[in-house]
Amino acid sequence: MKAIARDRNVTKIERFKAAIDSIYFHASILVLCIGLIGWATYEGWRQLTVLDDFTVREVSFTVFPTDGIKPGLLKEVRNSQGLIGRNLFETNLTRKVAEKLERNSWVLKVHSVKRVFPDKLSVNLELRGPSAVLRKNGTFYLLDDEGVVLPDGYYSWPLDQGNTPYIQSVHVRKTPRPGECLDDPGIKAGIELVKFLKKNNAHRLLGVKVVDVSNVGLGRTNGESDIVLWTKDGMAIKWGCPVECQQTNELSDSEKLKNLYSVVKAEGSKLDHMEYVDVRWKAPRGKLR
C-alpha cells in the first residue's frame, strides 16, 4: 500500500512539473511573438519614415488677418526653412512645425498643423496685425494689440491710415525696435482706447489726432487726467484713466463717449472754440477759449 501511495505522489509531482514546463514553454513562445510583433512594428514604422512617398513636398497656409499685411511677410512665412523635405510619419512632426513657425516674431499663434497624405502639410496660423500707431521724435511706429513694434517692410498702417489717432508718451525713451514689446501700461491703455474710438468711429467725428498717455498712473495722484485726447483743432479731451484702473466715480469708456456726444450736440461738432472738455464724470465739463 505504501508503494502504491508513493507511486501516486511521484505521478502528481511529475504532472505538476510537466504543467510548469508547459506554462514556461507557452510563456516563452508568447514573449517571443510579442517581441517579433514589436520589432516588426518598429521596423515597419522606420521604413515609413524614410519612404520618399511620404516626404513633405507642399505646405498650404491659411493665414489671418490679411489687412495691413504686405506680401513680403506672407512670402517669408510660406517659405519657412525646414518644412519641405520632412517625413509625414516623423515623431511629433506637427508640434515641431508649430514651434518652428511660432519662433517667427510676426507669427502670433499657430492654431493647427495637419498632415495631408501622402505629401502635404496644412497650417492655420494667426499673424500679428497693426492696431495702433506710436509717434516718437517725429517717426511713426506700428504696434499690434500687445504693443509689439511691427516692421514697416512687412506691415502697412491700419485701414483708415490718415485718420488713425497716434499714441504719444514721454515714457518711451529709447527708439522702438521691430519685434520689441513696449511693456508700458500707458501704451497698452492707448492701444485699447484707439481701438475703442475707431470701433465707434468717434475719432473721425471729433477729429481726434493724438492719444496722449504720458500721465497714465500719475493723474490720479494730482487730479489730472491720465489720458488726454487732442483734436486736429488743438482742443483737449480729458478722458481719464484706463478702464482697468477702476477709479472711484469715473465713468466707463462708453459713458465717457456719451458725455462727449452730448457736448457735441450742444456745442457743435468742431468744438474749435473750446479749450478743453472733461468727460470723466457724470456731468461733463468744459472751458471756452
Residue 90 C-alpha from the chain's centroid: 27
What was the pLDDT predicted at 2? 47
Of the ranges 9-23, 63-77, 263-277, which one carries the lowest mean pLDDT score? 9-23
pLDDT (tens digit per residue) in 31-58: 777 776 765 555 555 555 555 778 999 9
Separation between Cα atoms, residue 249 and residue 252, nearest integer Å: 10
What was the pLDDT predicted at 74? 84
Percent of the chain with pLDDT over 90: 51
Q: Which position has the higher pLDDT, 2 or 201?
A: 201
Residues 265, 273 contacting (CB under 8 angstroms): no
Residue 256 C-alpha from the chain's centroid: 30
Model confidence, pTM: 0.78
Of the ranges 105-109, 155-159, 275-279, which one carries the lowest mean pLDDT score? 155-159
Residues 100, 80 contacting (CB under 8 angstroms): yes
pLDDT (tens digit per residue) in 152-176: 889 987 666 667 899 999 999 899 9
Separation between Cα atoms, residue 286 and residue 79, nearest integer Å: 56
What proportions of the chain, in percent to the nearest 5, are helix, strand and coil? 40, 25, 35
Of the chain, the end-to-end C-alpha distance in Å amounts to: 132
Beta bridge partners of 133: 142, 166
Q: Specify burial of residue 201 (Cβ count, 10 A radius: 0-12, 13-18, 19+).
A: exposed
DSSP code, position 155: B
